[in-house]
Amino acid sequence: MSTKAPSLDHHPTLRHADREAIGAELQGVLVELTDLSLLGKQAHWNLFGPNFRALHLQLDELVDAWRTAADEVAERAIALGHPPDGRAQTIAERTELEPLPAGPIADHEVVTAFTERMTDAIGRIRTRMDRIENVDAVTADLLHGVVMGLEKQLWMIRVQV
């Protein structure tokens, strides 16, 4: 039985250079979504204030959605022959999202923090989506769905300001 990994250069309809570029864009999206989910859990655990219960539950829903989207992005990357990297060290080194403060965080501060971070993440994901739009419509469609979900989530958190 062979222990050698299968060749990742197996997608016949996209040029290798295109697959590499798309994989790099997907890796950036994976970092955004994974860090959002980590920030969401940090806020979930340390949240306090009069809107605790509703926001505590909403953060769990957001984290679940971000993890699901990250999984879809990672699976698309591997389908194109690009191994995704969701290791903690990679996320920490490559994230562009601002960290949350350590310790307790008030409900109104969580709403503001996630409004800012989600807005920033959406902007970067839209930029990545635009770069691959004419190269791979399937991957662009995946990112359209990610952005659509994030924008709906942003609306639902932003209205609490």
Residue 130 within any structural domain of the chain: yes
What letter would DSSP give residue 7? P
How many domains does the chain contain in total?
Answer: 1
C-alpha 56/C-alpha 58 separation (Å) is 6
Q: Is the dihedral of CA 7, 12, 14, 15 positive or negative?
A: positive
Prediction pTM value: 0.91
Residue 126 within any structural domain of the chain: yes
CB-based contacts of 8, cutoff 8 Å, min separation 6: 78, 81, 82, 83
Residue 72 within any structural domain of the chain: yes
Q: CATH code at 21?
A: 1.20.1260.10
pLDDT tens sequence across 80-137: 989 999 999 999 999 999 999 999 999 999 999 999 999 999 999 999 999 999 999 9
Q: Containing domain of residue 144, as a range?
A: 16-84+105-158
E strand intervals along the chain? 47-48, 105-106
Q: What phi-psi label fits residue 12: left (phi over 0), alpha (psi between -120 and 50 degrees) or beta?
A: alpha
Residue 133 within any structural domain of the chain: yes
pLDDT tens sequence across 67-93: 999 999 999 999 998 999 999 999 999
- The tokens describing 100, both together, are 């949350």
